[in-house]
C-alpha cells in the first residue's frame, strides 16, 4: 500500500504493537502521528523525527484531549487519512474473584479509547472528502498483514504458541 504524504494516526503507539504499526506505515511513505498516554522515549524522537509527530500524555478517554490531539496532528501533518486504534490493555482476573473496577478500567482502556479517538478523528477524515479508515487493535492483530501492507507477513509464532500453551494449561478449550 502506498501511503505517500498521508497522515496516519496510531494510538497506543509507544507500545510494541503500536510502534511496529507506525514503523510499517512510515516505511510505506506515510507521515505518522504516534499517540500514547505515556511519554515517548528519547529514541523515538530520533527515529520518528520530522515530518512525523509524537504526542505523549494523551488521555484518549477524554474527548477534549482527543480532539486537541487530532487538531495538533492536522496542524502538523495535514488531514487524518487513517486512524489505527491500538491503545488498550488487559488485566488478568477471574470473574469470580475479580474486582468490577478492574473491568471498568479495561472497558476504558480498550473500548472507550477506540470510540473517543475515532469520534475525534472523524471530522478530519470527512474533510478529506473520503471515509477515513479505522482499525481496532483486535482486528489489527488478526488482519494486520493483509489489511495494512497487502502481503502476508510471518506471524509471531513464539507469541502465538505461548498463548496457546497458557490457554491449554488454563483448561480453556481452543482449536489449533
pLDDT digits (tens, 9 = 90+) for 11-63: 999 988 999 999 999 888 889 999 999 888 888 888 888 888 988 999 999 99
Q: Of the candidates 59, 52, 68, 55, which has an alpha carbon nearest to the alpha carbon of residue 7?
A: 52
Q: Which residue has the cell 477515513?
A: 132
Q: Looking at the domain assignment, is residue 139 inside a domain?
A: yes
> In 3-state terms, what secondary structure has residue 70?
helix
What burial letters (b/e) apply to 83-105, b meaning 16+ CB within 10 Å?
bbbbbbeeeeeeeeeeeeeeeee
Q: Looking at the domain assignment, is residue 2 inside a domain?
A: no
DSSP strand E in the chain: where? 7-11, 31-35, 53-55, 80-85, 133-136
pTM exceeds 0.75 for this model? no
H/E element holding 124? helix 113-127
Predicted local distance difference test score (pLDDT) of residue 85: 92
What is the Cα–Cα distance from 76 to 49, expressed in whole angstroms?
12
Backbone torsions φ then ψ of 112, nearest 5 degrees? -65, -40
- Strand duo 31-35 + 7-11: pairing: parallel
Q: Looking at the domain assignment, is residue 99 inside a domain?
A: yes
Give the three cell numbers for residue 14: 509507544
Predicted local distance difference test score (pLDDT) of residue 80: 87
| Structural domain boundaries, residue 94 | 7-169
CATH of the domain at 111: 3.40.50.720
Give the three cell numbers for residue 40: 515517548
Give 71-123 pLDDT, tens digit per residue: 999 999 988 888 999 988 888 888 888 888 988 888 888 899 999 999 999 88
The residue that leads in pLDDT, 45 or 160, is 45
Give the three cell numbers for residue 17: 504493537
Q: Looking at the domain assignment, is residue 22 inside a domain?
A: yes
Domain count, the chain: 1
Q: Looking at the domain assignment, is residue 159 inside a domain?
A: yes
Amino acid at each position: 500500500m502506498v501511503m505517500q504524504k498521508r497522515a496516519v494516526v496510531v494510538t497506543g503507539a509507544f507500545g510494541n504493537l503500536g510502534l511496529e504499526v507506525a514503523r510499517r506505515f512510515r516505511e510505506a511513505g506515510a507521515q505518522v502521528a504516534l499517540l500514547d498516554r505515556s511519554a515517548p522515549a528519547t529514541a523515538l524522537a530520533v527515529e520518528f523525527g520530522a515530518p512525523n509527530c509524537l504526542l505523549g500524555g494523551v488521555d484518549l478517554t477524554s474527548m477534549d484531549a482527543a480532539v486537541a490531539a487530532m487538531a495538533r496532528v492536522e496542524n502538523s501533518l495535514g488531514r487524518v487519512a487513517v486512524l489505527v486504534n491500538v491503545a488498550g490493555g488487559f488485566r488478568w482476573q477471574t470473574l469470580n474473584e475479580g474486582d468490577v473496577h478492574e473491568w471498568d478500567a479495561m472497558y476504558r482502556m480498550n473500548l472507550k479509547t477506540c470510540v473517543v479517538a475515532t469520534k475525534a478523528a472523524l471530522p478530519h477524515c470527512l474533510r478529506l472528502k473520503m471515509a477515513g479508515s479505522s482499525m481496532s487493535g483486535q482486528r489489527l492483530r488478526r488482519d494486520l498483514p493483509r489489511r495494512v501492507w497487502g502481503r502476508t507477513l510471518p506471524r509471531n509464532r513464539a507469541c502465538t504458541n505461548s498463548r496457546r500453551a497458557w490457554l491449554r494449561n488454563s483448561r480453556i478449550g481452543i482449536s489449533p
